[in-house]
Copies of this chain bind each other. A is one copy, B any other.
Amino acid sequence: MNKAMPNILVYYNEAEKFAEFLKEHGCTSVKTAKTPEEALLHLPGTEIVLSWNFPSHLLAQPEAASVQWVQSTGAGIDSLVSDRTIPQNVVLTRIVDQFGGMISEYVFAYLLLHCKDIPRLLSAQANREWDKFSPGSLEGKVIGVAGLGSIGVEIVKKARAFHMKVHGLSLSGKNADIVDRHFTAADWKTFVSELDYLILTLPLTNETRHVINRDILLSMKSNACLVNVGRGSLIVERDMLEVLKEQQHLTAVLDVFEKEPLDKENPLWSLPNVYITPHLSGPSKVDEVGRFFVDNLRRFVQGSSLQGVVDRERGY
């Protein structure tokens, strides 16, 4: 089945950039919206929505009856999946296989920052101090990657280049063969107890929400380092805050939070053993996401199966 060039609605804070990219790539009917009100205005006749954090309740409105497909500009899609009012005939897709490179670079930037104690070096330089010490090394350290999708796989590859011991946890058992030791959801405590570095790349689902609680955090080595590049709600944030206050040799590198942007008043900002970054480890760059979407659009028009289709029951 060959469909005519469909009507596309881009919902994004920089919607114009996407619209420009799409027009350059042959899309003739592209509208943009930045607010729910604008979106509602443009939904009638729209077949495809390209969006980050689309106001999902609109999809159940009569104005959205023509929508067949919603493409998220990100890898995480929990906010859409959790809305049960979205009609079942609307296909949800997310970006896959595009974030591994950038996110794994972010992870190793902070692993190296931590093990080389770069903050101490920056501070010594500011004071013109020749503060010679023996920095640590990643070699031989144990990294545990929770979530072995395309992001986790790229982290594992780089960990190999740093001669680390690599453990992994995946819910489905996927890619169990690429790690030295594999764990499943039943083994969280054993999994975390042996790690120098715990990296969370899991999707947020009913099974993973709040999986990192006080009990799990206290099972970690007291000088371990936790890196969250998955979703904020994988962690019980209040538990983490308490444990980080108690265990001052524990370090957390957090790119995602239960509520984003992180509140100005949140005490996490000022803990000395916490690095906060504003959800930028896996940026949704217009040209990368645009290429993924244009390729999917070609498949849509040709009637082929789309890339990154979300299984709503599984949650990602």
Contact = CB atoms under 8 A, between A and B. Distances in A.
B134 A280 contact: yes
Interface stretch (A51-59, A119-127, A179-187, A232-240): A119-127
Given A124-B278, A163-B101, A135 B157 contact: no
A94 B289 CA distance: 51
A139 interface: yes
Contacts of A112: 105, 108-109, 112-113
A116 B121 contact: no
Interface in A167-191: none
A280 B133 contact: yes
A137 interface: yes
Copy total for this chain: 2
Contacts of A106: 116, 135
Contacts of A269: 125, 128
B118 A109 contact: yes
A105 B158 contact: no
B278 A139 contact: no
Contacts of A121: 275, 277
A313 interface: no
B105 A113 contact: no
Interface string A275-310: 111111001010000000000000000000000000
Interface in A245-298: 260-262, 264, 269-270, 275-280, 283, 285
9 contacts: A105-B138, A109-B109, A124-B278, A125-B269, A125-B276, A130-B278, A131-B278, A134-B280, A160-B161
Q: List the 5 closest pairs (A to B, CB-CB), nearest first.
A: A161-B161, A109-B112, A130-B261, A132-B278, A130-B278
Interface of A: 101-102, 105-106, 108-109, 112-113, 115-116, 118-119, 121-122, 124-125, 128, 130-135, 137-139, 157-158, 160-163, 260-262, 264, 269-270, 275-280, 283, 285
